[in-house]
Chain A
Amino acid sequence: MANLKIRIAGISTKEASINVDWEMHDLNYTLNSLFSSNIEGITINKIKLVSIGSALTIENNSIIQNVDDEILMSDMDAGNTRITYDHVVSSSSILEYQAIGSSIFNVTITFNSIV
């Protein structure tokens, strides 16, 4: 007999607030900043976008991402994922996503424009 293991991820909720004083930066930077300070030791394989605030545009491999799209961590590590904040649209915008690995984290990031 061989072993069959099913690992069922847990759910945690994380929130963060980021002040945006420049127009564009890597999502990888955002993710790592959040996780390194809040969720030690968890390996995240990908994220799944849940909601994207109106001031935000997310691109992966130069393709604009929408709700329910998934972005591999390897793409983020490679610098292929970028987020753009349009200060004209709104002074605050929220990004929600699931960070998926051995556990799942529902992450909410509030971007506040300080331009």
Chain B
Amino acid sequence: MGILRFRVAAKENIEFGGGFVEFLRGSTSSKIVDIIYGNATGQSVIANQVLYTYLTPSDDGYIEVKASSNQILIGSGVLNLTITHKASATQSDQNIYFNFDSSPISIEISYNSKPVAEDFTVDITNRSVYVFEPTDFTDHYIDFDNDVLSQISISGDITGYEVNSIPYNEGDWISINDINSGLFRYVSLNQDTYYEKDNTWKAKDINGNISN
């Protein structure tokens, strides 16, 4: 008699590279993350196929990872995933781990926060020109990540505000460097009586996040 032997190959895992994605604290949003893979043998995913969940959508920290589209994984390529995440206001950076077809995937999630702009008041003398200084704004600016203040903008009746001696356009971003150079100022009215000028301002941090 001869020997009939089946040699059954061991399962070969897909080799996934790590993913990276950044979210804004205190908000819920969805991001696309690309995962590089190799050694795939025709595995498939269906659009919106859920690969990972953590908590429920109403919970701070909720995470759901889904396939972005129908994809068949052959050889090497890029797996497109969509991550929906409700990040708390104080969320720390983290890594999530899950398997697809028994092959491990890891995604690094980092966070950034919107800066907070605070109310402030400036007192100036009659008929004077007030040249803003960076500290006018940085002293009333908070950033969870300690990102520095990069730009500010003013809204409302912007009559009298000037940048480099040119009337300021509402909503334009002014760099802290320009403010530091004395280019942003308010020219008060030519009148004797006391008045108040009320505006709102926004802060943009160095990562481009804008205060509410």
Q: What residues of chain A have their CB less than 8 Å away from a CB belonging to chain B?
A: 1-12, 98, 100, 102-104
Show 5 A/B contacts (Cβ-Cβ < 8 Å), sorted by A: A1-B212, A2-B116, A4-B200, A6-B196, A104-B126
Residues of A within 8 A of B118 (CB): 2
- Nearest opposing residue in chain B for A12, CB measure: B192
CB-CB contacts of B167-203 with A at 8 A, as 1s and 0s? Answer: 0000000000000000000101100111111111111
Dominant secondary structure of chain A at its interface with chain B: strand
Assess whether A10 is in contact with B200, with CB atoms less than 8 Å apart: no
- Whether the Cβ atoms of A7 and B121 lie closer than 8 Å is yes
Report the bound CA distance from A5 to B186 in whole Å: 11
Chain A residues, Cβ within 8 Å of B128: 8
Please, how many angstroms separate the alpha-carbon atoms of A8 and B189 in the complex? 9
Q: In the complex the two chains form, what is the Cα distance from A107 to B129 in whole Å?
A: 22
Chain B residue numbers with a CB within 8 Å of A2 are: 116-120, 140, 200-203, 211
**Residues of the B chain whose Cβ atoms lie less than 8 Å from the Cβ of A12:** 192
Min CB gap B50→A, angstroms: 38
Chain B residues whose C-beta falls within 8 Å of the C-beta of A7 in the assembled complex: 121-124, 194-197
Residues of B within 8 A of A (CB): 116-128, 130, 140, 154-155, 186, 188-189, 192-203, 211-212
The answer to whether B124 touches A6 (Cβ under 8 A) is yes
- Chain A residue with Cβ nearest B122: A6
- Closest-by-CB residue of B relative to A13 is B192
CA distance A2 to B117 in the complex (A): 6
Min CB distance B2 to A, Å, is: 85
Contact between B122 and A5, CB atoms less than 8 A apart: yes
Measured CB to CB, the nearest residue on chain B to A101 is B123
Question: Nearest Cβ distance between residue A45 and chain B, in whole angstroms?
Answer: 8
